[in-house]
Amino acid sequence: MLEVKGIRVRYGKAEVLAGVSITADSGSMVALLGANGAGKTTTLRAISGLIRPSAGEIWFEGKRIDRLSPQDIVRLGIVHVPERRRLFPDMTVIENLYMGAFLTKSKNDIKKDLEEVCTLFPILRQRQHQAAGTLSGGEQQMLALGRGLMARPKIMLMDEPSLGLAPVIVKEVFRVIADIKVRRNFGVVLVEQNAKVALDLSDMAYVLENGTITLEGTRKELITMDRLKKVYLGGAA
């Protein structure tokens, strides 16, 4: 479904991505692992059209998309849930959720999706008239994920969903991600510092170092690699 083919990205004179290639299919979860500055977030931003690769190609459902605008990429079904939530803080919870549904024409579909999101995250129903900026970090992450789901993704790009959250909230967020991914059969590309959690959830993973893919494979393949265990898993699978 999604194919990233040898993309290169530069910020000024610095090359941040140096020929990155990944694939993600419907119903699968792909993890991007690596240290800060490795190029993980840049990869997601290139896929969603927020930055334009200087070389390489990005294809989605047989269509080349690396020259499309972010709006057109969203219309195709690629939804980006960015790092640190990026909500509309002065708008209410329900208004933020409706913003995710701006491309959905049917009021019945919007109502159905809203009910599903509020069932997945009951706290959002309780807080629906509260300003998003007043929510806790965990509640804001649930709202960001819910807003992404309202856009009816075919591929969801998730950047550090566990950042700054308590372990119990992280567990709940990832439980919902795994559940809804299966039920809706959409793909997920996950950037996550917690390598163990990411590998446990993912069908496939890529390790980025200095803008280059240095390791790739399934969870079973990667957890047997000494280099991955030592650097990202603390020496244990």
pLDDT greater than 70 at residue 229: no
User: pLDDT per residue over 129-142, tens digit each?
Assistant: 999 999 998 899 89
Which is nearest to 205 in space by CA: 34, 36, 33? 33
Round to whole Å and give the CA distance between 126 and 137.
Answer: 16
Categorize the per-residue pLDDT at 233 as very low, low, confident or very high, splitting at 50, 70 and 90. low
Question: What is the per-residue pLDDT for 134?
Answer: 96
Sign of torsion over alpha carbons 209, 214, 217, 221: negative
What is the percent of the chain where pLDDT is above 90?
Answer: 64
- 1-77+193-237 fold: Rossmann fold (3.40.50)
Round to whole Å and give the CA distance between 88 and 212.
Answer: 34
- Mean pLDDT on 30-36: 90
pLDDT greater than 80 at residue 228: no
Specify the 3-state DSSP secondary structure of 39.
Answer: coil
Asked whether the beta carbons of 203 and 30 are under 8 A apart, the reply is: yes
Q: Where are the domains of the chain?
A: 1-77+193-237
Main-chain phi, psi angles of 131, to 5 degrees: -65, 135
User: pLDDT per residue over 152-183, tens digit each?
Assistant: 999 999 998 887 778 888 888 888 888 887 87
* Mean pLDDT, all residues of the chain: 89
Dihedral angle of Cα 185, 187, 193, 196, to the nearest 10 degrees = 50
Strand extents, DSSP E, 87-230: 155-159, 187-191, 204-209, 212-217
